[in-house]
Protein backbone atom coordinates (compact mmCIF):
# COMPACT_ATOMS: atom_id res chain seq x y z
CA UNK A 1 0.00 0.00 0.00
CA UNK A 2 1.45 3.33 -0.97
CA UNK A 3 -0.60 6.07 0.57
CA UNK A 4 1.44 8.98 -0.62
CA UNK A 5 1.10 8.26 -4.32
CA UNK A 6 -2.65 7.85 -3.96
CA UNK A 7 -3.25 10.83 -1.69
CA UNK A 8 -0.67 13.25 -3.06
CA UNK A 9 0.30 12.38 -6.58
CA UNK A 10 2.31 15.59 -6.95
CA UNK A 11 4.17 15.33 -3.64
CA UNK A 12 7.87 16.09 -3.85
CA UNK A 13 10.44 13.99 -2.06
CA UNK A 14 10.80 16.73 0.54
CA UNK A 15 7.46 16.04 2.11
CA UNK A 16 6.80 13.46 4.77
CA UNK A 17 6.20 9.96 3.48
CA UNK A 18 5.22 6.93 5.52
CA UNK A 19 5.01 3.28 4.63
CA UNK A 20 4.44 0.02 6.41
CA UNK A 21 7.41 -1.77 4.89
CA UNK A 22 6.80 -5.16 6.48
CA UNK A 23 4.64 -6.99 9.01
CA UNK A 24 6.52 -5.29 11.82
CA UNK A 25 8.09 -2.15 10.45
CA UNK A 26 6.94 1.39 9.64
CA UNK A 27 9.28 3.86 7.91
CA UNK A 28 8.86 7.66 7.84
CA UNK A 29 11.02 9.92 5.64
CA UNK A 30 11.41 13.65 5.21
CA UNK A 31 14.06 16.10 3.99
CA UNK A 32 14.41 19.37 5.89
CA UNK A 33 16.55 22.47 5.54
CA UNK A 34 19.69 22.55 7.65
CA UNK A 35 22.93 20.64 8.17
CA UNK A 36 22.85 17.25 9.88
CA UNK A 37 24.79 18.26 13.05
CA UNK A 38 22.12 20.87 13.83
CA UNK A 39 19.35 18.35 13.11
CA UNK A 40 21.01 15.67 15.23
CA UNK A 41 21.38 18.14 18.08
CA UNK A 42 17.66 18.91 17.97
CA UNK A 43 16.96 15.20 18.56
CA UNK A 44 19.37 14.74 21.45
CA UNK A 45 19.05 17.97 23.46
CA UNK A 46 16.02 18.05 25.76
CA UNK A 47 15.49 21.81 25.51
CA UNK A 48 15.46 21.61 21.72
CA UNK A 49 13.45 18.39 21.43
CA UNK A 50 10.66 19.76 23.56
CA UNK A 51 10.23 22.64 21.10
CA UNK A 52 9.20 20.37 18.25
CA UNK A 53 8.41 16.79 19.29
CA UNK A 54 4.82 17.58 20.21
CA UNK A 55 3.32 19.65 17.38
CA UNK A 56 1.32 22.61 18.67
CA UNK A 57 -1.65 21.59 16.57
CA UNK A 58 -2.00 18.20 18.29
CA UNK A 59 -3.46 19.42 21.57
CA UNK A 60 -1.06 17.44 23.74
CA UNK A 61 0.97 19.22 26.38
CA UNK A 62 4.49 18.04 27.12
CA UNK A 63 4.92 18.06 30.90
CA UNK A 64 8.50 16.86 31.14
CA UNK A 65 11.32 15.81 28.85
CA UNK A 66 14.47 14.16 30.18
CA UNK A 67 17.13 12.93 27.80
CA UNK A 68 20.50 11.30 28.39
CA UNK A 69 21.57 10.68 24.80
CA UNK A 70 24.48 8.34 25.41
CA UNK A 71 24.65 4.63 24.64
CA UNK A 72 22.76 3.01 27.52
CA UNK A 73 21.33 6.37 28.60
CA UNK A 74 17.57 6.75 29.06
CA UNK A 75 14.87 9.20 28.07
CA UNK A 76 11.46 9.90 29.51
CA UNK A 77 8.72 12.18 28.17
CA UNK A 78 5.42 12.76 29.92
CA UNK A 79 2.30 14.31 28.41
CA UNK A 80 -0.87 15.83 29.71
CA UNK A 81 -3.64 14.23 27.67
CA UNK A 82 -6.27 16.64 28.97
CA UNK A 83 -7.72 14.44 31.69
CA UNK A 84 -6.62 11.43 33.69
CA UNK A 85 -3.12 10.22 34.29
CA UNK A 86 -0.24 11.77 32.34
CA UNK A 87 1.01 9.54 29.54
CA UNK A 88 4.68 8.51 29.66
CA UNK A 89 7.03 7.48 26.87
CA UNK A 90 10.38 6.09 27.88
CA UNK A 91 13.25 3.92 26.78
CA UNK A 92 16.99 3.69 26.27
CA UNK A 93 19.52 4.72 23.67
CA UNK A 94 21.22 1.82 21.88
CA UNK A 95 23.37 3.78 19.42
CA UNK A 96 24.36 7.44 19.40
CA UNK A 97 26.53 8.35 16.40
CA UNK A 98 26.51 12.10 15.78
CA UNK A 99 25.48 13.43 13.34
CA UNK A 100 24.24 10.47 11.32
CA UNK A 101 22.50 7.84 13.41
CA UNK A 102 20.45 7.46 16.56
CA UNK A 103 18.84 4.23 17.80
CA UNK A 104 16.57 3.97 20.84
CA UNK A 105 13.94 1.73 22.35
CA UNK A 106 10.35 2.56 23.25
CA UNK A 107 9.50 0.45 26.25
CA UNK A 108 6.11 1.74 27.32
CA UNK A 109 4.14 -0.89 25.39
CA UNK A 110 3.41 -4.49 26.40
CA UNK A 111 5.07 -7.41 24.69
CA UNK A 112 8.57 -6.12 23.99
CA UNK A 113 10.28 -2.91 22.96
CA UNK A 114 9.87 -1.04 19.71
CA UNK A 115 13.30 -0.15 18.32
CA UNK A 116 13.49 3.16 16.46
CA UNK A 117 16.40 3.96 14.16
CA UNK A 118 16.74 7.54 12.92
CA UNK A 119 19.33 8.32 10.27
CA UNK A 120 20.39 11.78 9.09
CA UNK A 121 21.97 12.20 5.70
CA UNK A 122 23.14 15.66 4.67
CA UNK A 123 23.19 16.77 1.06
CA UNK A 124 23.86 20.38 0.01
CA UNK A 125 22.84 21.84 3.36
CA UNK A 126 19.65 19.79 3.60
CA UNK A 127 19.16 16.70 5.71
CA UNK A 128 17.21 13.63 4.74
CA UNK A 129 15.73 11.97 7.82
CA UNK A 130 14.62 8.34 7.83
CA UNK A 131 12.84 7.05 10.94
CA UNK A 132 12.37 3.30 11.11
CA UNK A 133 10.10 1.85 13.84
CA UNK A 134 10.65 -1.86 14.26
CA UNK A 135 8.04 -3.65 16.38
CA UNK A 136 8.81 -6.86 18.25
CA UNK A 137 6.23 -8.78 16.20
CA UNK A 138 3.47 -8.39 13.63
CA UNK A 139 0.97 -8.77 16.48
CA UNK A 140 2.58 -5.89 18.38
CA UNK A 141 2.24 -3.55 15.39
CA UNK A 142 -1.33 -4.70 14.68
CA UNK A 143 -2.23 -4.07 18.30
CA UNK A 144 -0.65 -0.62 18.21
CA UNK A 145 -2.77 0.19 15.16
CA UNK A 146 -5.94 -1.05 16.84
CA UNK A 147 -5.07 0.72 20.09
CA UNK A 148 -4.27 3.91 18.17
CA UNK A 149 -7.77 3.79 16.79
CA UNK A 150 -9.05 3.97 20.36
CA UNK A 151 -7.63 7.46 20.76
CA UNK A 152 -9.35 8.86 17.71
CA UNK A 153 -11.67 11.78 18.20
CA UNK A 154 -14.35 13.26 15.99
CA UNK A 155 -11.80 15.34 14.12
CA UNK A 156 -9.73 12.27 13.33
CA UNK A 157 -12.79 10.53 11.96
CA UNK A 158 -13.56 13.54 9.77
CA UNK A 159 -10.02 13.59 8.39
CA UNK A 160 -10.06 9.86 7.78
CA UNK A 161 -13.41 10.05 6.11
CA UNK A 162 -11.99 12.60 3.69
CA UNK A 163 -8.88 10.54 3.08
CA UNK A 164 -10.72 7.30 2.45
CA UNK A 165 -13.17 8.99 0.12
CA UNK A 166 -10.21 10.41 -1.79
CA UNK A 167 -8.47 7.04 -1.93
CA UNK A 168 -11.75 5.41 -2.87
CA UNK A 169 -12.28 7.83 -5.73
CA UNK A 170 -9.12 6.44 -7.29
CA UNK A 171 -10.04 2.79 -6.94
CA UNK A 172 -13.74 2.83 -7.59
CA UNK A 173 -13.80 3.10 -11.34
Largest distance between two CA atoms of the chain: 53
Pairwise CA distance, residues 134 & 140, whole Å: 10
Applying CB under 8 A, the residues found at the interface with other proteins are 1, 3-4, 7, 15-20, 26, 28, 30, 32-34, 37-39, 41-42, 45, 47-48, 51-58, 129, 131, 139, 142-143, 145-150, 152, 156-157, 159-161, 163-165, 167-169, 171-172
CB of 105 to other proteins, least distance (A): 19
Closer to other proteins at the Cβ: 28 or 115? 28
**CA-CA distance, 124 to 122, in Å (whole number)?**
7
Least distance from C-beta 8 to other proteins, angstroms?
10
Helices (H), 28-103: 36-44, 46-52
Question: Phi, psi at residue 121, to the nearest 5°?
Answer: -125, 115
User: Strand pairing partners for 91?
Assistant: 75
**Shortest Å distance, C-beta 71 to other proteins:** 19
Helices (H), the chain: 3-7, 36-44, 46-52, 138-150, 154-172
Please name the residues in contact with 47: beta carbons below 8 A apart, sequence gap of 6 or more: none
Provide, rounded to whole angstroms, the least separation between the CB of residue 139 and other proteins.
Answer: 5
CB of 86 to other proteins, least distance (A): 19
Amino acid sequence: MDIRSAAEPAATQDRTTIERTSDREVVVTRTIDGPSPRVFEAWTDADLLRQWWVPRSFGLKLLSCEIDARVGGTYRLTFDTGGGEPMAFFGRYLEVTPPTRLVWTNEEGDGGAVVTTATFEEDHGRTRIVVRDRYPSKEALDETIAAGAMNWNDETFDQLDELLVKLGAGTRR
